[in-house]
Amino acid sequence: MGAVDQALAHIEEPDRSCLQHVVELARTLAPDATEGMSYGMPALKLDGKPLVAAIATAKHLSIFPFSSAVVEAVAGRLDGYSLSKGTIRFTADHLVPDDVLADIVRWRIAEIRT
């Protein structure tokens, strides 16, 4: 079990399932991604660079695509979500849509591989 799976195992439902979904979608789009740590967070890595992290905090869930450009690219599709330079915050009651998640991962893969 890697860093990401270990971290998710300690999160209570329904948050764990929400974060697991983010990770599984990323693994589907980047099957050669590995688990590791980036900026102190358990993250999926691609070619040694951070791809995405999905974590729980006391008040919300967060997706970290490790790219302000990726967050900016999807910002217009995330009305009602809390965004910062490198973070997308959501809750189990207000999930990030799958098409947006897929674009986040695809764009980050493109950044890493270009």
d(CA 30, CA 46): 8
Domains located in the chain, CATH noted: 3-113 (3.90.1150.200)
Dihedral angle of Cα 66, 70, 71, 77, to the nearest 10 degrees: -150
Q: pTM for this one?
A: 0.92
Say whether pLDDT at 27 is over 70.
Answer: yes
Interval 14-38 mean pLDDT: 95
For position 2, what pLDDT does the model report?
87
pLDDT band at 49 (very low <50, low <70, confident <90, very high): very high
For position 33, what pLDDT does the model report?
96
For position 1, what pLDDT does the model report?
64
Proportion of the chain above pLDDT 70, given as a percent: 99
13, amino acid identity: E
pLDDT in tens, 57-94: 889 999 999 999 999 999 999 999 999 999 999 999 99
Mean residue pLDDT across the chain: 94
